[in-house]
C-alpha cells in the first residue's frame, strides 16, 4: 500500500515537471490583418492618383505574401443588433448534420 502511494506521488510530480512546447508562428502563416496593414501603408506612401494604380500597388503587396498561408480569425462575428436571433443560422451551420 505504501509503495503504491510513493509511486503515485512520483508520477504526479513527473507530470507537473513536463514542459509544454512553446507555440510559434514559424509554419509560414501570416495574419490577414498584417497583409491589410501593409497594403494601407503602401497606398499611403505612394498616394496614387487613380484607382488602377492603387489596385496595382495592392497586388504587389499581395504577391509579396503569395507563398505564405493566410491565417483567418477564428471568431464568430456577433451581430450589433437583433440579440440572439441572427446567431441561430450560424450555430445551425456549425452543428451540421
Q: What is the CA radius of gyration of the chain?
A: 25
- Listed by start position, the domains of the chain span 26-72
Which residues have a Cβ under 8 Å from the Cβ of 67 and sit 6 or more positions away? Answer: 28
pLDDT band of residue 14 (cuts 50, 70, 90) is low
pLDDT, tens digit (0-9, with 9 covering 90-100), for 20-73: 555 555 667 788 888 889 999 999 998 989 999 999 999 998 888 887 777 777
- pTM value > 0.75: no
Find the helix packing angle between 51-64 and 32-46, rounded to 10°.
140
Amino acid at each position: 500500500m505504501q509503495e503504491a502511494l510513493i509511486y503515485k506521488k512520483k508520477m504526479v510530480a513527473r507530470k507537473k515537471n513536463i514542459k509544454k512546447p512553446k507555440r510559434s508562428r514559424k509554419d509560414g502563416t501570416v495574419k490577414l490583418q498584417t497583409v491589410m496593414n501593409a497594403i494601407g501603408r503602401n497606398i499611403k506612401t505612394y498616394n496614387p492618383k487613380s484607382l488602377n494604380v492603387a489596385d496595382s500597388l495592392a497586388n504587389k503587396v499581395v504577391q509579396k505574401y503569395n507563398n505564405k498561408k493566410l491565417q483567418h480569425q477564428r471568431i464568430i462575428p456577433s451581430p450589433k443588433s437583433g440579440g440572439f436571433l441572427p446567431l441561430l443560422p450560424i450555430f445551425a451551420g456549425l452543428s451540421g448534420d
